[in-house]
Structure 1
Amino acid sequence: MRIEKDNLVSTGLNIIAIPIMGVYFLSVFILKQLSDFISLIVSKVKNKFASIIAIGIVAYIISLITSLT
């Protein structure tokens, strides 16, 4: 009985952990794409104001992703 209960707990943890890991890897991938996009914008636009806005948008998106998880 003890072994079955532990097995159920580990299965439940796996069911919970796998989507969280998927969301984590997806958010890391999205953040990498965003950072490449921002570096492109900053290199194209020499205006410091525009780069500050882009960084602010990314920070907002990061906070959205972390609030979802």
Structure 2
Amino acid sequence: MSARGKIATSAGGTILFVDEVHRFNKSQQDAFLPHIEDGTITFIGATTENPSFELNSALLSRARVYLLKIG
């Protein structure tokens, strides 16, 4: 069975956490899109930058943005 088939039949999916996601260029960010759209992965990205400026619009439109404030 393919990896995609195993994920589809398992109870959970794959969670992909990318720290410093703002360092990925547009084509690298675009590579995640088909897998996010078909549910193969749950994408979690962390950045210290403003995601509205640093993430491409296609990825940002499929995301929920959470702002964490410390202090």
Q: TM-score range by the shorter chain?
A: under 0.3
**Counting helix residues as a fraction of each chain, which structure ranks higher?**
1
TM-score, normalised by the number of residues in structure 1: 0.28
Which has the greater radius of gyration?
A: 1
**Counting strand residues as a fraction of each chain, which structure ranks higher?**
2
TM-score, normalised by the number of residues in structure 2: 0.27
